[in-house]
Amino acid sequence: MRGKDVRLDQVSIRFGDSTAVQPTDLSIQAGEFFSILGPSGCGKTTLLRTISGFIEPTAGRVLIGGEDMAGKGPNERPTALIFQNLALFPLMSVAENVAFGLEARGMRKVERLKRAQELLELVALSGYGDKKPADLSGGQRQRVAIARALAVEPAVLLLDEPLSALDLKLRQHMRSELRAIQKRVGITFIYITHDQGEALAMSDRVAVMSRGKLEQVADADTLYAEPATPFVATFVGEQNVLRGTVSSLADTVATVDTPIGRIEGRVKGPIRLGEEALLMVRPERIVLGPGGANTVAARLAARNLEGPSVHLHCAAAGQTLTVTVPNGPSVRELPEELTLSFGIDDALVYPLGALAHG
Amino acid sequence: MGSLARAYGRPLASVIAGIAVAWVLVLILVPLGAMVEQSLWWRDSKGDASLSIDRLYNDISLIELDLETETDPAKQAAFDQSLVEKRAEIATLEAQETNPPKTYGLANFTRMSGLHFYIFVRTIFYALLVTALALVVCYPVAYVVALASGPRKAIILMVALIVPYAINELLRVYAWLMILDYRGVINGVLQWMGFIDLDAREWIPFLENPSAVFLAMIYTYVLFMVFPMVNTLETLDRNQIEAARDLGASTFRIHRRVIIPHAKPGIAVGCIMTFMLSAGSYSVPAIMTRGQGGDWFSQLVYRQFYESNNWNMGSAYAVSLLVVCTAFILLMMRLFGVGLRDIAK
């Protein structure tokens, strides 16, 4: 099996009056594990269905392996889709399910069942061929769906939140399993999810999508450390968000007057002197005690034990700042009055824009 | 019963059980029992009884005539004696005729004539044909209705299915009669287009063909085929259709491998209902053929009851039809691998 690259060229999708996907350019490399991350209703499933051929784009082109897919149905594209509810055929045995795509291609029964057997081995389900999907556990059904999709030797595998029905432990296990399968077969995976943990853990690159628009396309580290927009900053990971007025503006550093005082931070995006801006600091970038360029006096309001780390909810000038510190003996006897500090690099200054939560 | 009493309390449980028993009695045991009982006996009325009675009365008149002219007392006594004997004989014969003795047995079932048996077999065959045709007609309709959504679905259902069925069955059959008649709508249109001349009796005799009955019957029973199918098709996860298409299956294969297997219980229910209804339909063949086409078996049953006035034979015919149809349905369910449990779903 060989992966193919997928390119979206000014693809936009409208349903009647409403725009599901705004004009989008996207280039996914062959053999890449690519995730599209976004809240429900952001258009990510629509985008996936466009790539798979169930939806024709209103404008723009979808190219797979350099070939224009216009007018080609889902059965004519080198893609296979794994549905959110898996959509296994309940009345067929597991082996028949896996062999269905080969049956549709007219392969002889003996051959296609042999091939199904090989694929079931690939997903560690040999010996389950005669069972019905209903007799399998959630994780096993998941793997049957993967084997069924791989049977038609697609160049691009499209996955529509296939792990969302599983419980937490199994979901985490399946993440590494999916990644391993992708490495083994070497084809392009396009993975849709609203779960940032899944996207960050598995993907080579992640696209964050909001309201039909791609906010940022980057690898997981960049996405977390250098979010391009306020939406990405707040959707991926936790943030302390403060609103303030830009009081001085240098090349890459801006000073913002916030309720908790003057804070210096790095400029992300077009901001202007005297205008309002958003200032964001990750909870784990704030340290207890002085040291950073920005210092804030705060009062400890609550402690949330998370196991290896502790969330401290601190009140400062009517704002709540969350600070995440590693768990240890010292955090058990903290004074009520705290000094918090963080560096200029830890604070990011964005122009006003949509946030992920509220 | 024990669990019922625990769940609902004793009084309510006995009410529920009572209703269940009444249901079984009123809907199944009593009507079926009456019919079976009726079919299992007959009265041995000797065909020549009335003739013998007439002959005896003649004899009596003659003897009485002889008696008036006879003067020999010995002979008179002999005549009187013979009169008493003949009158007694008449009395027993008349008693037999007005209230012949009941005989129980299976003779009603074995007495069917060859012609009637032929009609019986043909009716089953025709009913099967109607069922098959109705299935072919209804499957696409059911598919479209089941997969349509929102207001479109309501409109299709209303216009295509509910509105025709708001009209009485007799009216619907008569409407088809008017359409297919010698001087009906179709022949009228053909004349208007200049193909035929009705005054020269050049009409196409649709009604003399069994297919006219098929047509009216399919029209009459379409709903019973469509609704069970729509019900099961609606429960089909549409993702399965898309998944099959995505895996490269043709439309035909998607239907054959994914949709029809899923809809099988609904198809079975629809076929059973259509088959039973058409095998037992009286009004449609009676009206559509007007005695010109071949009879259906239901018409024979009707005749046994109301023309031959032989209720026992009529009951036997009706029971035979029921038994054969039921056996046939069980056979079909077995062949298609549909269990009662699937149908109940």
Q: Give the residue ranges of chain A where pLDDT is below 70.
A: 1, 357-358
Residues of B within an 8 Å Cβ radius of A: 237, 239-240, 242-250, 253, 257-258, 261-262
**For residues B152 and B320, which has the higher predicted lDDT (pLDDT)?**
B320
CB B36 within 8 A of CB B86: no
Q: Find residue A81's DSSP bridge partners.
A: A158
Q: For residue A149, give the nearest of A140, A159, A134, A161 by alpha carbon.
A: A159
CATH of the domain at B178: 1.10.3720.10
Residues B208 and B88 in one domain: no
Residue B316 lies in a domain: yes
pLDDT at B194 over 70: yes
Question: Is B105 contained in some domain?
Answer: no
Instruction: Please check whether residues B161 and B17 belong to one and the same domain.
Output: no
- The reported pLDDT for the residue numbered A289 is 86
One domain, residues B168 and B308: yes
Task: For residue B44, tell me if it sits in a domain.
Answer: no
> What is the Cα–Cα distance from A130 to A92, expressed in whole angstroms?
9
Q: Is the pLDDT of residue B8 over 70?
A: yes
Q: Is residue B223 part of a domain?
A: yes
Q: What is the pLDDT of residue B310?
A: 81
Q: Which of B237, B246, B262 sits opposite A74 (nearest CB)?
A: B246
Higher model confidence: residue A49 or residue B148? A49
pLDDT digits (tens, 9 = 90+) for A232-258: 999 998 899 999 999 988 888 999 998
pLDDT cut 90: percent of chain B above it:
19
Give me the pLDDT at residue A230, please: 92
Q: Nearest chain A Cα to B240, which residue?
A: A87
Domains identified in chain B, total number: 3
**Chain B contact present for A80, CB below 8 A:** yes
- CA–CA separation, B74 vs B67, rounded Å? 11
- For residue B238, give the chain A residue with the closest CA: A87
How far B316 CA sits from the closest chain A CA (Å)?
Answer: 43
Q: Are residues B69 and B174 located together in one domain of the fold? A: no
Map tokens 């160049």 to a residue. A155
Pick from B246, B248, B257: which is nearest to A105 by CB?
A: B248
Distance CA A142, CA A147 (A): 9
In a domain, residue B115? The reply is yes
A146 min Cα distance to partner chain B (Å): 12
A234 token code pair = 């707040």
Q: What is the pLDDT of residue B345?
A: 61
- Which of A75, A88, A164, A190 has the highest number of chain B CBs within 10 A, making it the mutation to test binding with B? A75
Min CA distance, A100 vs chain B (Å)? 7
Best interface-test mutation with A: which of B235, B239, B241, B247 has the largest number of A CBs within 10 A? B247
Q: Which of A54, A84, A101 sits opposite B247 (nearest CB)?
A: A101
Chain-centre distance for alpha carbon A104: 33
Question: Parallel, antiparallel, or unpaired: how do β-strands A59-64 and A33-37 relate?
Answer: unpaired
Confidence at residue A1, expressed as pLDDT on a 0 to 100 scale: 65
- Given pLDDT bands bounded at 50, 70 and 90, which one contains residue B45? low
- Alpha-carbon distance of B43 to A282, in angstroms, equals 101
Residues B16 and B67 in one domain: no
Token pair for residue B284?
């449609």
B61 falls within a domain: yes
Same domain for B149 and B291, yes or no, is yes
What span, in angstroms and rounded, lies between the C-alpha atoms of A232 and A235?
5
* Most confidently modeled range among A180-184, B163-167, B202-206: A180-184
Q: Which residue has the higher pLDDT, A224 or B97?
A: A224
The pLDDT assigned to B19 comes to: 93
**Per-residue model confidence as pLDDT tens digits over B321-343:** 999 889 988 887 887 777 777 76
Say what the pLDDT of residue B46 is.
59
A265 bridge partner residues: A254
CB-CB neighbors (< 8 A) of A74 in chain B: 242, 245-246
Task: State the average pLDDT over residues B122-141.
Answer: 92
B270 located within any domain: yes
By Cβ distance, the residue of A80, A84, A103 closest to B246 is: A80
Q: Set out the domains of chain A in order of their start, with CATH numbers.
A: 6-232 (3.40.50.300), 238-347 (2.40.50.100)
* Residue with tokens 């031959």, as numbered in its chain: B308
Q: Closest to A52 (Cβ–Cβ): which among B239, B246, B249?
A: B246
Same domain, B129 and B84: no
Please name which of B103, B104, B160 lies closest in space to residue B137, comparing C-alpha atoms.
Answer: B160
Same domain, B170 and B314: yes
Are the beta carbons of B246 and A75 separated by less than 8 Å? Answer: yes
Query: Is A87's CB within 8 Å of B262's CB?
Result: no
Q: Supply the range of the domain harboring residue B11.
A: 2-39
Residue A284 CA to residue B8 CA, distance in Å, equals 60
8 Å CB contact of A104 and B246: no
Check pLDDT > 60 for residue B106. Answer: yes
**B-contacting residues in A 150-189 (Cβ below 8 Å):** 151-152
* Torsion sign across C-alpha atoms A110, A113, A115, A118: negative
Query: For residue A107, what are the contacts with CB-CB under 8 A and spacing of at least 6?
Result: A99, A115
φ, ψ of residue B31 to 5 degrees: the values are -65, -40
A65 vs B205: which has the higher pLDDT: A65
- Given an 8 Å threshold on Cβ–Cβ distance, is B258 in contact with A89? yes
What is the dihedral angle through the alpha carbons of A181, A183, A184, A190, rounded to the nearest 10 degrees? 60
Mean pLDDT of B317-323: 90
CA distance linking residue B224 with residue A293, whole number of Å: 80
B165 with B273, same domain?
A: yes
Q: Is residue B47 pLDDT above 70, yes or no?
A: no
* Separation CA B243–CA A99 (nearest Å): 13
CB contacts of B250 in chain A (<8 Å) are 75, 104
Same domain, B256 and B276: yes
Contact A224, A236 (CB under 8 A): yes
* A168, containing H or E segment: helix A168-185
Q: Which residues are within 8 A (CB) of A169 and not within 5 positions of it... i.e. 6 or more apart?
A: none
Confidence grade of residue B344 (pLDDT, cut at 50, 70, 90): low
Using the predicted structure, report yes or no on whether residue B7 has a pLDDT greater than 70: yes
State whether residue A116 sits within 8 Å of chain B by CB.
Answer: no
Q: Give me the sign of the Cα torsion angle A242, A245, A246, A248.
A: negative
**Which residue from A54, A87, A149 is facing B240, i.e. has the nearest CB?**
A87
- What mean pLDDT value characterizes chain B? 86
Yes or no, beta carbons of B243 and A83 under 8 Å apart: yes
Q: Is residue B26 part of a domain?
A: yes
Clarify whether residues B213 and B77 are in a common domain: no
Regarding whether B333 and B199 lie in a shared domain, the answer is yes
The 10 Å Cβ neighbour count of residue B24 is: 11
CB contact under 8 A, B247 and A73: no
Instruction: Judge whether A79 is closer than 8 Å to chain B, CB to CB.
Output: yes
